[in-house]
Structure 1
Amino acid sequence: MISLKKFNLIELHPARLLILGFGFLIVVGTLLLMLPISTRPGHQLGFIDALFEATSAVCVTGLVVVDTGTTFTLFGQIVLLALIQIGGWGFMTAGVFMFIILGKKIGLKERLVLQSTLNQFSIQGVVKLVILIISLTVFMESVGALLLALRWSYEMPWSTALYYGIFHSISAFNNAGFGLEPDSLSKWVGDPTINLVITFLFMAGGIGFTVILDLWNKKSLRKLSLHSKIALLVSLILNIIATLIIFATEFSNPDTIGNFPLADKWWASYFQGVVTRTAGFNTIDIGQMMVPSLVFMMFMMFIGASSASTGGGIKVTTFALMLLALWSVLTAKDNVSIFKRRIPWELVNKAFSIAVTAIMFISVIFFILTYTEQADLVLILFETISAFGTVGLSAGLTADLSPMGRVLITILMFIGRIGPLTMAFALMKFSDKSRVKYVEERILIG
């Protein structure tokens, strides 16, 4: 048996190891989805489509080129669920969990990789964090599945309702957005139970395991870490703003919520507002939304969820830190501070690096897509940002993408899940820090 240590995989930079891990999962998922047992008669997937679906599942995006419920057999759907679950955890978290089950020792190198993949400040307690993440996930998904199954049992046989509950609960908590109905959750646009359970699950997964565990341990908002306070506050503000804007821009649109009763208008606005930063479910037709709504949703998808979560985007804490830094510059302050805490400039620089790198990747893919796809530029840009943010919302372009377009969106979903800065690190050659310091000289900016 060939040992992995022979190839020094664990010696790789965490960024490259992360890419190899997710890449391996995608390859395995692609091969499994191409098997005849994975699809119903007449729905055999080619390599590009299988690669797209597997990448979307592993990267917990939710963009699909085929209808999940009618294309895949039970086996194929279970493969998707497994890819979603492992992708939501992260391959390293899932791997360490298997090591724990098998009684294997978790060494220092593995802990260092875990620290990087879980976006923690130190290696202390990372193995315990993995156990808590797994336990929390199983608990949340189980409760969500049961509540959804009880609701759907009024419309379908109990066994079907239970399966629907399990599938949508796992998909929601991991911010994947895969559904078993062709129109996602549009049938239940005004249903309080579906709206509340699904949104709670994807917001819990999107706020991040670190924040959830911090809430559990501290029991008080005042005692929370600075990260948790910023993540919760900014997420709450963005969710409120998003709900109000979707309500205002779509209020009179007869193709979305214009003909709904007032209560359903609010439910649809709330759901579509908060889902934009995280999961790819929808309760109204995205393709029929007004252009201002789509533009605003692009902005929200770019921001994304919280760090150390199952969501994508540049992350709400990154966005918040950029705003705080801008405010500090405008007010001529020497430091960036909030909640009586000062944030080091090193993190500020990293936040802007993440945003700039993300814009570069999105711009390149968008530019190429304008050549490969014959579609409205707004729809192409919407699809591009949705893929990067691993959101999975589509204005109807996904199924009509050309083979090259599907490959490009696949690449962007992968970059979005790995993280733009991580991808940039992986592509660069690492070297020791130079000891040479050059003479400082100023340039004109602004």
Structure 2
Amino acid sequence: MARINIHPLQAYRQARRTGQLQASPPAVLAGSFLILILVGTVLLSLPVAQRHPFGMFEALFTATSAVTVTGLMLIDPATDLSFFGQAVLLALVQIGGIGFVTFAIIATLTLGRRVSLKYQALALEAFNQTSVARIRQTALTVLKFSLVIEGAAILILTLWWWRHDSLEHAFLLAGFHAVSAFNNAGLSLFPGSLAGFAQDPVTTFVITGCVILGGLGFSVLADIQQKRSWTTLAYYTRLMLIGTLVLNLAGFALFWLIEARNPNTLGALPAAGQGLAAWTQVVAARTAGFASVDVDQLYDSSRFLLTGLMFIGGGSLSTASGIKLATFIVLLAVVRAYILQRKEVVLMHRTIAPETIHKALALMMVSGLLVCLGIFLVSLFEDMPFIAVVMEVMSAFSTTGISPDLTRVLSLPSQIVLMLLMFVGRLGPLTLVYSLGTQRRSRVRYPETVVQIG
């Protein structure tokens, strides 16, 4: 189905003339997330949601961070929010993570209503799908996997934490962290995030397992469930599994190697604890945001490594953000093809379509420009170490939430920049461009020319 994009000015004129607002699916998605953020802001501003009073801006920032599943905070959810406030925060994370459109489509299907053409276009945009027939299946798959994975994690963590806590409190903590992990939000109710569990293998593997499964993407999980054989898995599924394994293991080895000699992070832990903490931190850098060590004490090289992992992110149709792992792999294949002077870009014995290459390059360029703009603005407003600014901006854009204790001390203009980056990063840079522009096919063809590059 072709995308139909209407310029905001055109949409306004049509609304004045017809009384109906016409907008492109990306614009509707952006509007839906914006409305959800505003509703969350109002709820978090209520006295019943606050244990320690905070202002409207803090509520807006918190709601934006939750809906975009980022995790950057101006407040402490454990101490500043009441039980009601924490429940609101978790609901915003869940809806923002598995998708506002998913809930809406499932509600429509449950009521027995037929999904309209406009709603189908919106769903295709949200699910990154091309087949209308798969909308229902994809929506139900998203909900099913979310409930099963989060439910299993809650059960395991509740039983494990029950050893040192009451059953009720252990269950509440398990529910919050399981949902936060699977939705790649990285929000925690523990002091220092997951640093207190750096040497706890059960907590480590349950939390990181949720992060990885949420970041793979629902289409990958559905394909694995249906086929259960490597040879019959879809090409994209195999690409994501190999890419995730290689990236996580490479990042894990590098991070452990660098920080093993740092007495303020891994150096103070025994060998087994170092491995668990390094694994948690690297996996969390794939847009989850949990911290197993004091991020402010990391070496600059480790911060740079985590920043790169944040930029790459997870998979399409997942709870993760970033430019997406498949985009990164395609770009590597493009570079390889150019170096080897091959006309076709081949990846795992398949030729990559030119449209896919163009989209990957455009996404990389738009994302890079947005990150650079964010770094420039925050550096302009603040007198902070440059690597800390880079990490903070990348954390916001990739909706990761790993922060070197910078968010709360930034000025108001910088915090506004972070909010905008979180919003754009969750929607996707290309989706934002589509929502603001008009896509027209030109019938004019121009002569080719050669431009000197490099």
Please indicate the TM-score interval, normalised by the length of the shorter structure: over 0.9
Which whole-Å deviations, capped at 9, do the CAs of 1:392-431 have from their partners, x for residues lacking one?
Answer: 1011101111111111100000011000111122222x14
Partner of 1:264: 273
Q: Is the 8 A contact 1:61 1:392 kept in 2?
A: yes
Match of 2:262 in 1: 253
Q: What TM-score, normalized to structure 2?
A: 0.94
2: CA distance between counterparts of 1:396 and 1:61?
15
Write the mapping of 1:179-194 to structure 2, written as runs, cut at 5 A: 179-194=188-203
Q: Residue in 2 aligned with 1:129?
A: 138
For 2:105 and 2:131, the matched residues in 1 are separated by 17
**One-letter code of the match for 1:21?**
S
Letter in 1 for 2:300: V
Q: Match of 1:21?
A: 32
Structure 2 residue identity aligned to 1:23? L
Runs of 4 or more consecutive aligned structure 1 residues displaced over 4 Å after TM superposition? 6-9
Q: Are residues 1:388 and 2:400 paired?
A: no
Tell whether the 8 Å contact from 1:33 to 1:50 is kept in structure 2 after alignment: yes
The 2-side partners of 1:7 and 1:287 are apart by 53
The counterpart of 1:32, out of the listed 23, 31, 43, is 43
Give the deviation of 1:130 after TM superposition: 0.4
1:379 equivalent in structure 2: 388
Aligned length: 438
Distance 2:337 2:19 in 1: 47
Q: Which amino acid aligns with 1:223?
A: T
Q: Secondary structure at the match of 1:180?
A: coil
Alignment of 1:149-160 (within 5 A): 149-160=158-169
What are the residue-to-residue correspondences of 1:15-414 with 2, within 5 Å?
15-40=26-51, 43-414=52-423
SS of equivalent residue, structure 1 residue 125: helix
Mean CA deviation greater in 118-127 or 101-110: 101-110
Query: In terms of mean alpha carbon deviation, does 93-102 or 49-58 score higher?
Result: 93-102
Mapped partners of 2:411, 2:449: distance in 1? 49
Asked if structure 1 preserves the Cα contact closer than 8 Å seen for 2:311 and 2:322, the reply is yes
Contact 1:33 1:45 (C-alpha < 8 Å) held by counterparts: no
Distance 1:18 1:331 in 2: 41
Rounded Cα–Cα distance in structure 2 between residues aligned with 1:416 and 1:231: 21
CA shift, 1:341, in A, is: 1.7
SS at 1:120 equivalent:
coil
1:35 Cα offset (Å):
0.8
CA–CA separation in structure 2 for the residues paired with 1:159 and 1:330: 59
TM-aligned CA deviation for residue 137 of structure 1: 0.6
Offset at residue 221 of structure 1 (A): 1.3
Q: Once the 2 structures are TM-superposed, how far is the Cα of residue 85 of structure 1 from its aligned partner? A: 0.6
TM-score of the superposed pair, with normalisation by structure 1: 0.96
* 1:324-375 Cα distance to aligned partner (Å, 9 max, x none): 1111111121211223222101100100100110011111111111121221
Check the 8 A contact 1:48/1:406 in 2, yes or no.
no
Deviations 1:142-188 (A, max 9, x none): 11001011111011100000000111000000000111112111111
The structure-2 alpha-carbon separation of the partners of 1:7 and 1:49, relative to structure 1 and needing over 3 Å to count, comes to farther
Residues 286 and 312 of structure 2 are in contact (CA less than 8 Å); yes or no, is this contact kept in structure 1?
A: yes
8 Å Cα contact 2:25-2:118 kept in structure 1: no
- Of 423, 440, 443, the residue aligned with 2:448 is 440
* Cα RMSD after superposing both structures: 1.3
How far does residue 8 in structure 1 lie from its aligned partner after superposition?
4.5
> For 1:8 and 1:148, how far apart are their aligned partners in 2?
49
Structure 1 127/330 Cα, relative in aligned 2: closer, same or farther at 3 Å?
same
Compute the displacement of 1:48 (Å). Answer: 1.8
Unaligned runs of 5+ residues in structure 2 are 1-14
Runs of 5+ unmatched residues, structure 1? none
For 1:33, give the aligned amino acid: L
SS of 2:346 mapped into structure 1: strand
Give the CA deviation at 1:90: 1.4
Q: Find the residue that maps to 1:258 and give its secondary structure.
A: helix
